[in-house]
Amino acid sequence: MSSGVDYRAFYRDRRVMITGGLGFIGSTVAHQLVELGARVLIVDSLIPEYGGNLFNIAGIEDRVRVNIADVRQSSSMNYLVRNQEVIFNLAGQVSHIDSMQDPYTDLEINCRSQLSILEACRRYNPTVKVVFAGTRQVYGRPESLPVTEQHLVKPTDVNGINKAAGEYYHLVYNEVFGVRACSLRLTNVYGPRQLIKHNRQGFIAWFIRLALEDHEIQIYGDGTQLRDFVFVDDAADAFLRAGADDSSNGKVFNVGGLEPISHRDLVELLVSVAGTGRYRCVDWPPEKKAIDIGDFYTDSSLIHRTLGWRPVTLLGSGLARTLDYYRAHLDHYVPTTASQVAAL
């Protein structure tokens, strides 16, 4: 297993590519890599509805290279993967709601694009290491808690199906073609640089915006459903560990929070930390109830045993850091002009 020093030292002068690198988690990985002395190439399509935001690399823009490209384009991927030593593959469509309304786009981005990246690696850079951003959504409704990596993969929406397929492509290319790859099944990641301009990419980001703007937060049902949350800096550290250590090859790992918390307790904590906002419980909208998975929290002991990772950021501390970030930079994340609002 990599030591705490080794996995961070590993990245000095390494050529590292991040797909979806202008997004929430990808840009956080980029900031950490720059601090470690890596040579970072960010690839992002900057599709407006998704999380890409050039402000996410503020402060490091002169220390990274940015290529605006769509991972669905094989010709672009064939060129961009060459000579990279590690690829953090975070490009994806993450909205469960959008995947149900527009399943073909979700299929293109979360399946076809993964094949484009992996085929490019197989043909033009077979020695690269690829770390895929998977999701706990592949498990669907849990049959037992906490959920381990041995739990049945049984998604409840199109996004979960396509993310599962994307993950399995990586594992097959690892086993059959020797392109070293692994997947991190992320739970509810939150923190600075998350997309908060609309409510279709995870409820915690939207709750944070509502609290910031002193609005009412609506909790579906009675608020007792449980989730675990992982701060984005902790999630980025999991990527760094997985990319530096070959003991991750061919494996999937849960990346979850310190402990589960109910929606009601989460919102009460958020409102308390923010000093603004309020909440009430409301009935479930039918289209959201249909894909809800009930209580969900993960067992992350496998990645701890294998790579030494564990979450370290307490939820209250992470929320405070997130709120401070958006208070300082809100105009870069929330539309202010009529044209921006109309585009949502």
**What's the confidence (pLDDT) of residue 156?**
84
> What is the mean pLDDT of the segment spanning 36-65?
92
User: From the centroid of its chain, how far is CA 39?
Assistant: 22
pLDDT category at 96 given cuts 50, 70, 90 is low
Q: What is the pLDDT of residues 300-326, one digit of tens each?
A: 999 999 999 999 999 999 999 999 999
**What's the confidence (pLDDT) of residue 98?**
64
**What's the confidence (pLDDT) of residue 157?**
83
**What's the confidence (pLDDT) of residue 106?**
78
Q: How confident is the prediction for the chain on average, in pLDDT?
A: 91
Q: Is the pLDDT of residue 95 over 80?
A: no
> What is the mean pLDDT of the segment spanning 261-267?
97
Q: Between these two residues, 95 and 206, which has the higher pLDDT value?
A: 206
CATH numeric code, 4-190+230-256+298-312? 3.40.50.720
> What is the mean pLDDT of the segment spanning 106-135?
92
Q: What is the pLDDT of residues 155-191, one digit of tens each?
A: 988 888 889 999 999 999 999 999 999 999 999 999 9
Range from 76-85, 106-115, 200-209, 335-344 carrying the lowest mean pLDDT: 335-344
Q: Which residues contact 47 (CB under 8 A, 6 or more apart)?
A: 70
The string of DSSP letters for 239-290 reads HHHHHH-GGGTT-EEEE--SS-EEHHHHHHHHHHHHS--EEEEEPPPHHHHT
Q: Is the pLDDT of residue 250 over 60?
A: yes
Q: Which residues contact 335 (CB under 8 A, 6 or more apart)?
A: 197, 341, 343, 344
**What's the confidence (pLDDT) of residue 194?**
94
Helix 24-35 / helix 232-244 crossing angle, nearest 10 deg: 60
**What's the confidence (pLDDT) of residue 93?**
65
For the chain, what percent of residues have pLDDT higher than 70?
A: 93
pLDDT category at 219 given cuts 50, 70, 90 is very high
pTM: 0.94
> What is the mean pLDDT of the segment spanning 271-299?
90
Q: Is the pLDDT of residue 258 over 50?
A: yes
Range from 4-8, 137-141, 331-335 carrying the lowest mean pLDDT: 4-8
**What's the confidence (pLDDT) of residue 3?**
44
Q: Between these two residues, 101 and 65, which has the higher pLDDT value?
A: 65
pLDDT category at 343 given cuts 50, 70, 90 is very low
The string of DSSP letters for 265-279 reads HHHHHHHHHHS--EE
